[in-house]
């Protein structure tokens, strides 16, 4: 947050405005292994970009690179004109990026209420960062509980006592409580029943309608194609495809070689 | 359940208030000692039970505060109103310095705090010209404020009780504040807390300094209680024992460290009167706690009373 001057993107259609997030040619190592080998992408306000790929291709590392948990060795990540390079995770969170981590990593020993209140604490917010943020979307406790009524019933239970689906809702609800402009979602559908996958899909659409940008990492091709505006396919640390969901559905060679599905099954 | 707790707390308070009237000198001084060690164990538990940091240098803050007060009183003749706050400040300043240990985590944090603890122990033990070496500092006068000396052990008992109750209330406010929630979150997962916007290292540092300040307060209370201080107060053994008190009594609670201190000091006094290897008995008590009451005596009582419904479904 070295430069407090944050330009407000124009109000025109999202694709015309300046991107919210620009990842330029990042190379990220996980210990000694060279995971992301030059990845670039852009994401606009109110858009969902899905990152697809098999296990071990670097999808989670991409999320962790943006969140500052595994900083890239070279390349740059720019969020609303601010370079996130070298910024610690807490500063990135305060700038308006929330993460829904893989495997619903909620705080098991804290109550549902405490889990939800964590991002709103004065200790987690920097006034400088939130002042400049343009928020067409204001989430608060009541609003989140309205979105996830299951949580309201168990509000004072420890997070660890919730079912898998409820934990996922809590994880998303917790991210919303920070009023982020951008949400990084790491396989939100993992381990959810088909009914809950539909609910997750609904939620993502509503979040997009409210102006949130979502960087979605998914293994569930159907889910990703149904919500995403843009799709990237990651293979061995590089993007091998970038296009719209409709384009991907036709790219049988990419589907077959990098995602392990035959194009025929898709349609 | 809340009413039950209030009644329990009032009963405990009433019992604490009548101790000097019904119990003899021996019991009263033992219980004073339990309050002081309980406070020290409480300082350990802010890090252990809430933030998930295992600090093994709490005796350093305790001892530096106690030595500072003792030296100012005995060597330089400063009044209590100077010597006691100076002890508190000296111990807290050491915590400000030693707080750099929070840059490390896990086993490295434990090892660094052990090493830091040995520095203070070595200094008070070897710097004999200043600290009295092995003999320590003797003849610390009773605390006196505005010409009134608290020479009576009964008065000092009530004074310590008052300080401990104030600390317990302050501690309760602290752990229920957003800061306390932040510490428990960090104990759950530090990286997740960072991704929620928490500058976790700063929070752990603050917790370390607050913990050091509480330990220093216990040190000042101790030196006026004991009227004597020697290098044992700075030893690794004290740091370990107070951690065990917190664990046995019930880590993560306020009464737990005091219950633990009561069990340890009570057993030591009782067992050592007829059995030389009383430390072995302590070890067995500790192992039994870990096996059968892993959340300590306070946690065990809580479960037995039936509010375990909440904790039971925790995996």
Question: Is B186 contained in some domain?
Answer: yes
At CA B290, angle to CA B287 and CA B291, rounded to 5? 85
Query: How far apart are alpha carbons A35 and A62 in whole angstroms?
Result: 9
Question: Is B305 contained in some domain?
Answer: no
Q: What is the rounded end-to-end Cα distance, in angstroms, of chain A?
A: 46
User: pLDDT band at residue B297, thresholds of 50, 70 and 90?
Assistant: confident
Concatenate the DSSP letters of all residues of chain B into one string. Answer: -HHHHHHHHHHHHHHHHHHHHHS-HHHHHHHHHHHHHHHHHHHHHIIIIII------HHHHHHHHHHHHHHHHHTT---HHHHHHHHHHHHHHHHHHHGGGGGS-HHHHHHHHHHHHHHHHHHHHH-HHHH-GGG-B--PPPPEETTEE--SHHHHHHHHHHHHHHHHHHHHHHHHSHHHHHHHHHHH-HHHHHHTT--HHHHHHHHHHHHHHHHHHHHHHHHHHHS-B-GGGGSHHHHHHHHHHHHHH-TTSSHHHHHHHHHHHHHHHHHTTT-S-HHHHHHHHHHHHHHH-TTHHHHHHHIIIIITHHHHT--
Q: Check if the beta carbon of residue A267 is closer than 8 Å to that of residue A260.
A: no
> From the CA of B101, how many Å to the nearest CA of chain A?
19
Using a CB-CB cut-off of 8 Å, the residues of chain A touching B314 are 108-109, 158, 160-161
Question: Is A5 contained in some domain?
Answer: no
Question: Is A132 contained in some domain?
Answer: yes
Number of structural domains, chain B?
1
| CA-based torsion, A208, A210, A214, A218: positive or negative | negative
Name every residue in A having a CB less than 8 A away from some CB of B: 67-69, 88-90, 92-94, 98-99, 101, 105, 107-110, 114, 117-119, 121-126, 157-158, 160-161, 174, 178
Question: Is B200 contained in some domain?
Answer: yes
Tell me the per-residue pLDDT of B187-208, one tens digit each, with 9 for 90 and over.
Answer: 999 999 999 999 999 999 999 9
> From the CA of A114, how many Å to the nearest CA of chain B?
8
Query: How far apart are alpha carbons A216 and A52 in whole angstroms?
Result: 9
Task: For residue A224, give the 3-state DSSP assignment.
Answer: helix
Name every residue in B having a CB less than 8 A away from some CB of A: 178-179, 181-182, 184-185, 187-189, 191-200, 203, 310-311, 313-315
pLDDT at B275: 78
pLDDT at B94: 97
Q: Check if the beta carbon of residue A49 is closer than 8 Å to that of residue A43.
A: yes
The domain in which residue A193 lies consists of: 21-266
Q: Give Cβ neighbours of residue B249 (< 8 Å, ≥ 6 apart).
A: B41, B255, B256, B257, B258, B259, B260, B261, B262, B263, B296, B297, B298
Question: Is A1 contained in some domain?
Answer: no
Tell me the per-residue pLDDT of B235-286, one tens digit each, with 9 for 90 and over.
Answer: 999 999 999 999 999 888 999 999 999 999 998 888 888 877 777 888 888 8
Query: How far apart are alpha carbons A82 and A88 in whole angstroms?
Result: 13
User: pLDDT band at residue B302, thresholds of 50, 70 and 90?
Assistant: confident
Q: Check if the beta carbon of residue A254 is closer than 8 Å to that of residue A242.
A: no
Q: Check if the beta carbon of residue A215 is closer than 8 Å to that of residue A79.
A: no
Which of A124, A156, A172, A183 would you mutate first to test chain B, the one with the most B CBs within 10 A? A124
CATH code for position A25: 3.40.50.300
Strands A230-235 and A82-83: unpaired
Inter-chain residue contact A157 with B310, CB threshold 8 Å: yes
Query: How far apart are alpha carbons A48 and A141 in whole angstroms?
Result: 24
ipTM for the assembly: 0.82
pLDDT at A132: 45
pLDDT at B41: 96
Tokens of A220: 């569930």
Instruction: Please give the distance of CA A88 from its chain centroid, rounded to a whole number.
Output: 18
Question: Is B277 contained in some domain?
Answer: no
Number of structural domains, chain A?
1
Q: Give Cβ neighbours of residue A206 (< 8 Å, ≥ 6 apart).
A: A147
Q: Check if the beta carbon of residue B265 is closer than 8 Å to that of residue B248.
A: no
Closest C-alpha to A240, from A59, A2, A1: A59
User: pLDDT band at residue B176, thresholds of 50, 70 and 90?
Assistant: very high
Residue of chain A whose alpha carbon sits nearest to that of B179: A123
pLDDT at A193: 86
What is the average pLDDT across B19-34?
Answer: 89
Closest C-alpha to A139, from A215, A49, A204, A207: A207
Q: How far is CA A234 from CA A43, A60, A256, in A?
A: 16, 11, 13
Element (H, E) at A223: helix A221-227
For the cut 60, the answer to whether the pLDDT of residue B308 exceeds it is no
pLDDT at B1: 62
What is the average pLDDT across B121-144?
Answer: 89
For the cut 70, the answer to whether the pLDDT of residue B310 exceeds it is no
pLDDT at B109: 95
Using a CB-CB cut-off of 8 Å, the residues of chain B touching A160 are 313-315
Neighbours of B296 (CB within 10 A): 28
The pTM assigned to this predicted structure is 0.87
Q: Check if the beta carbon of residue A44 is closer than 8 Å to that of residue A19.
A: yes
Question: Is A15 contained in some domain?
Answer: no
Q: Residue for token digits 């803050």?
A: B61
According to DSSP, the residues that pair with B149 across neighbouring strands are B144
Question: Is B248 contained in some domain?
Answer: no
Question: Is A10 contained in some domain?
Answer: no
Question: Is B87 contained in some domain?
Answer: yes
Question: Is A68 contained in some domain?
Answer: yes
Inter-chain residue contact A93 with B196, CB threshold 8 Å: yes
User: pLDDT band at residue B31, thresholds of 50, 70 and 90?
Assistant: very high
Inter-chain residue contact B197 with A126, CB threshold 8 Å: yes
Question: Is A12 contained in some domain?
Answer: no
At CA B212, angle to CA B207 and CA B216, rounded to 5? 150
Question: Is A8 contained in some domain?
Answer: no
At CA A81, angle to CA A215 and CA B190, rounded to 5? 55
Query: How far apart are alpha carbons B181 and A174 in whole angstroms?
Result: 15
The domain in which residue B106 lies consists of: 23-235
Closest C-alpha to B66, from B173, B213, B221, B263: B221
Query: How far apart are alpha carbons A50 and A234 in whole angstroms?
Result: 10
> From the CA of B139, how many Å to the nearest CA of chain A?
47
According to DSSP, the residues that pair with A241 across neighbouring strands are A233
Residue ranges, chain A, pLDDT below 70: 1-16, 126-137, 262-267
Share of chain B above pLDDT 90, in %: 64
Question: Is B182 contained in some domain?
Answer: yes
Tokens of A216: 């979605």
């Amino acid at each position: 947050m070295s430069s407090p001057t944050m330009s407000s993107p124009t109000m025109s259609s999202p694709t015309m405005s300046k991107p919210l997030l620009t990842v330029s040619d990042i190379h990220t190592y996980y210990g000694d292994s060279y995971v992301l080998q030059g990845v670039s992408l852009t994401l606009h306000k109110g858009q969902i970009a899905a990152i697809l790929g098999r296990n071990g291709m670097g999808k989670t590392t991409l999320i962790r690179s943006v969140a500052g948990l595994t900083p890239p060795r070279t390349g740059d990540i720019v969020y609303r004109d601010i370079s996130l390079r070298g910024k610690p995770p807490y500063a990135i969170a305060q700038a308006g990026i929330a993460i829904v981590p893989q495997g619903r990593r909620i705080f098991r020993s804290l109550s549902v209420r405490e889990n939800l209140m964590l991002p709103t604490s004065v200790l987690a917010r920097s006034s400088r960062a939130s002042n400049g943020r343009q928020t067409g979307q204001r989430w608060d406790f009541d609003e989140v509980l309205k979105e996830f009524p299951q949580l309201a019933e168990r509000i004072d239970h420890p997070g660890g006592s919730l079912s898998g689906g409820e934990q996922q809702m809590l994880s998303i609800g917790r991210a919303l409580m920070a009023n982020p402009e951008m949400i990084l979602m790491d396989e939100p559908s993992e381990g959810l029943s088909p009914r809950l996958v539909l609910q997750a899909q609904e939620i993502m659409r509503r979040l997009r309608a409210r102006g949130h940008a979502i960087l979605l990492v998914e293994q569930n091709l159907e889910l990703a194609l149904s919500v995403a505006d843009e799709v990237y396919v990651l293979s061995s640390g590089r993007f091998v495809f970038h296009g719209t969901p409709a384009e991907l559905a036709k790219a049988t060679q990419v589907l077959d070689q990098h995602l392990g599905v035959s194009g025929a099954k898709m349609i | 359940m809340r009413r039950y707790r209030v009644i329990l707390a009032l009963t405990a308070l009433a019992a604490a208030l009548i101790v000097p009237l019904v119990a003899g000198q021996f019991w009263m001084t033992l219980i004073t000692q339990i309050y002081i060690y309980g406070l020290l164990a409480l300082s350990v538990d802010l890090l252990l039970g809430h933030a998930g940091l295992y600090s093994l240098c709490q005796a350093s803050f305790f001892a530096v505060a106690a030595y500072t007060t003792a030296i100012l009183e005995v060597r330089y003749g400063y009044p209590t109103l100077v010597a006691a706050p100076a002890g508190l400040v000296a111990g807290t300043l050491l915590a400000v310095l030693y707080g750099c240990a929070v840059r490390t985590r896990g086993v490295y944090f434990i090892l660094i705090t052990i090493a830091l603890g040995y520095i203070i122990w070595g200094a008070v033990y070897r710097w004999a010209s200043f600290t009295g070496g092995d003999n320590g500092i003797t003849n610390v006068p009773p605390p006196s404020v505005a010409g009134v000396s608290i020479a009576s052990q009964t008065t000092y008992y009530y004074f310590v009780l008052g300080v401990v109750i104030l600390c317990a209330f302050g501690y309760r406010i602290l752990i229920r504040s957003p800061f306390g929630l932040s510490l428990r979150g960090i104990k759950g997962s530090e990286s997740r807390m960072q991704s929620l916007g928490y500058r976790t290292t700063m929070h752990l540092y603050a917790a370390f300094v607050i913990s050091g300040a509480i330990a220093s307060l216990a040190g000042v209370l101790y030196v006026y209680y004991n009227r004597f201080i020697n290098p044992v107060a700075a030893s690794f053994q004290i740091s370990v024992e107070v951690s065990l008190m917190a664990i046995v009594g019930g880590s993560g609670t306020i009464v737990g460290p005091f219950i633990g201190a009561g069990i340890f000091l009570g057993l030591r006094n009782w067992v050592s009167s007829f059995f030389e290897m009383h430390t072995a008995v302590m070890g067995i008590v500790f192992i039994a706690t870990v096996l059968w009451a892993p959340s300590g005596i306070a946690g065990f009582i809580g479960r037995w009373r039936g509010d375990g419904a909440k904790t039971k479904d925790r995996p």
